[in-house]
A and B are shown apart, each in its own frame.
Chain A
């Protein structure tokens, strides 16, 4: 798209030189909100992850955490209010109307904006999904406030109670922290799987505040003619995979991904890839791990022939155990992997496939 210097030059314009003192009017904005993404009877898991993170921010600020749910007036949505409270919310704003059945930009923007203007939260978090990014962009523009996309870290600045949102910048080679100056609410989108899903506490209780909605279907211009669900069997499901075997440029040739697939099959793993591999067209874009691809947090991540550039790292360094295979002993991936083998992936991968096969056979016999 068309923004100029969305990522500003480093260091040359420190935010400190600009006014960060809040107008009195804005100081009245209190509380942390998480937009809970509800569609077709389900809540997107990123919403629960954000409630976990929102809880920490609210505690740091000593304010309440609210979930915001928009959708059709069905029984499922009310049950999700309780679930949001179990995941850490103190209260839940619920806005139901038949016109909110499917996500559409205009009615969702209107209602979320209305809620913000009525209750004045200081922070509003949304998942960086196709829905969340579409909605956040419109709501922030309507409210004329700051929005930081695709954050990988959130914190409260103890000096001014502001939200410090960290995200990769310059093609994922560095990180930058972005603050919102004299505007409220401070908005951010966060990618799925970047934050940990909190433990739900079924004993937690909270308030549900019904927000009356006035919408007229006839005055909503965009109509949903149909929803065509994805064929889930054919789709790679990297964000929720337990084990991922990924290949990078070091795999040298497309055919060599066969070795990645062989190991993945033995482990019951998904196949991932780094950006250069996607750009070379060796593997489909839905398998890209990294800032411009998927964020993953499997129990085991095996990186073969991946150097470990920041772009890739931010998408996978929250994996429980990382194994790196790389010919270059100085590759940055060895600085954050847990185990490393310095060697040629084309010979190490088949050996690993063999070793895991033998382990599985031994496990079977032991049973």
Chain B
């Protein structure tokens, strides 16, 4: 069995700050990490490999420094890692990205047929969840998004059964390989990589592919040129011209502040007051 896992290197969005005056992104010192959702995808692939044997190829498109993300995948147990990097890919939106990645996957497939492609449900920087469906569509693979559980895999019948999160419930889907699966967070707990694994990953010779290596001939399909969308402006949210009415009382005591606030809410917003309906029984649901 051959599983290909798509990973992306992203800036740790929790650490991105905006300059308070110029409203520009302060990129300095923001660490690059493997997109957290992709680690669930990698772990799910590793579990299938543990059970059914086979090979895992990690694929990452990005600048040369994205190599670090692939080394991490190797340390966790990927057998092969391919960095798809070319200046011609710069500025790609999701359509151009899925074009480049699917071209690379086709090349991988030629040397060793790919049975499953795994990806995270979305990235934390783009948050679009569009590239997975894009790749599946281009490669004519069955698409299973938001998968919360892999129920069974039958390699001889080439069938897989999964739980797919949908609105209001879970779909139990059966499909044929090859398939592309995007996994939900929390589907598994990531394993740890030992120091030996990390050293082994550091020594591993990465494969680096340019657009030519991926046999991409039509440059109008990749990068900025291949992107139907464009950012027309980036801006900070407009101020509402509203400044909260700060509740103050003479004593400044919580009890008085609260009483003053409740009195204002109830008298000025009757519909809010009407919406207050204490639950008759204690809410036992977990937080």
What residues make up the interface of A, taking CB atoms closer than 8 Å to B?
1-8, 10-11, 13-16, 18, 37, 39-40, 44, 102-106, 109, 129-131, 133-134, 136-138, 140-142, 144-150, 164, 169-183, 221-230, 233-234, 236, 242-243, 257, 261, 264-268, 271, 275-276, 279, 282-285, 287, 291-292, 298-300, 310, 313-314, 317, 320-324, 329, 333-343, 347-348, 350-352, 354-356, 358-360, 363
Known contacts A3-B93, A131-B166; can you find 7 more A-B pairs with CB under 8 A?
Answer: A1-B131, A145-B228, A174-B235, A176-B235, A227-B170, A300-B269, A338-B242
**When the two chains form their complex, are residues A133 and B145 in contact, meaning their CB atoms are under 8 A apart?**
yes
Q: B97 at interface (Cβ–Cβ under 8 A)?
A: yes
Residues 213-230 of B, flagged 1 when their CB comes within 8 A of A and 0 if not, give 000000000001001111
B176 at the interface (CB under 8 A from A): yes
Q: Is the C-beta of B21 less than 8 angstroms from some C-beta in chain A?
A: no
Q: Which residues of A contact B89 (CB under 8 A)?
A: 4
- On whether A229 and B129 interact (CB within 8 A), knowing A130-B146, A178-B229, A266-B278, the answer reads no
> Is A133 a contact partner of B129 (Cβ separation < 8 A)?
yes
Q: Compute how far the CA of A5 lies from the CA of B181 in the bound complex, rounded to whole angstroms.
A: 22
* CB-based A-B contact count at 8 angstroms: 385
- Contact check, B275 vs A243: say whether CB atoms are below 8 A apart: yes
> Does B111 touch A at the CB level, under 8 Å?
no
Question: Is B231 an interface residue, CB under 8 A from the partner?
Answer: yes
Closest residue of chain B to A171 (Cβ to Cβ) is B13
Partner of A2, one of B8, B240, B266: B8
Shortest beta-carbon distance from A257 to chain B in Å: 6
In the assembled complex, B276 has its CB within 8 A of some CB on chain A: yes
B97's nearest neighbour on chain A, judged by CB, is A3
Given A4-B62, A340-B244, A228:B172 Cβ within 8 A: yes
A258 to chain B minimum Cβ distance, whole angstroms, is 9
Contact partner of A141 (CB less than 8 A), chosen from B137, B168, B285, is: B137
Contact with A along B273-287 (1 / 0, CB 8 A): 101111100110111
User: What is the CB-to-nearest-CB distance from A160 to chain B, in angstroms, rounded to a whole number?
Assistant: 11
- Docked complex Cα distance between A130 and B122 (Å): 12
**Contacts A6-B128, A228-B172 hold; do A355 and B235 have CB atoms under 8 A apart?**
no
- B binding-site residues for A, Cβ under 8 Å: 6-8, 11, 13-14, 16-18, 23-25, 35, 37-38, 59-62, 89-95, 97-98, 101, 119-134, 136-138, 142-146, 161, 163-176, 182, 185-186, 224, 227-237, 239-240, 242-247, 254-255, 257-259, 261-262, 264-266, 269, 271-273, 275-279, 282-283, 285-287
Majority SS at the chain A contact face:
mixed
A39 CB contacts on chain B under 8 angstroms: 166-168
Contacts of B133 in A (CB 8 A): 105, 133-134, 136-138, 141
- Output the least CB separation between A323 and chain B (Å): 7
Contact A300–B275 (Cβ < 8 Å): yes
A14-B120 Cα distance, complex, nearest whole Å: 30
Given contacts A10-B234, A147-B229, is CB(A360)–CB(B128) below 8 Å?
Answer: no
Which B residue sits closest to A129, measured CB to CB? B167
Closest A residue to B128 by beta carbon equals A149
- Let me know if A174 and B95 touch, CB within 8 A: no
| Across-interface contacts of B245 in A (CB, < 8 A) | 338-340
B229-A148 in contact (CB<8A): yes
Question: What chain A residues lie within 8 Å of B167 (beta carbons)?
Answer: 37, 39, 44, 129-131
On whether the beta carbons of A6 and B137 are closer than 8 Å, the reply is no
Partner of A299, one of B127, B145, B258, B272: B272
CA A148 to CA B231, docked complex, whole Å: 10
**Contacts A1-B35, A181-B229 given; does A137 touch B264 at CB 8 Å:** no
Contacting residue for A271 out of B130, B137, B138, B287, CB 8 A: B287
Q: Which residues of chain B are within 8 angstroms of A358 by Cβ–Cβ distance?
A: 259, 262
Residues of B within 8 A of A104 (CB): 173
17 contacts between A and B (CB under 8 A): A1-B126, A11-B233, A11-B234, A105-B133, A130-B167, A136-B130, A136-B133, A140-B134, A169-B234, A171-B16, A179-B229, A222-B174, A223-B175, A282-B287, A323-B265, A355-B258, A358-B262
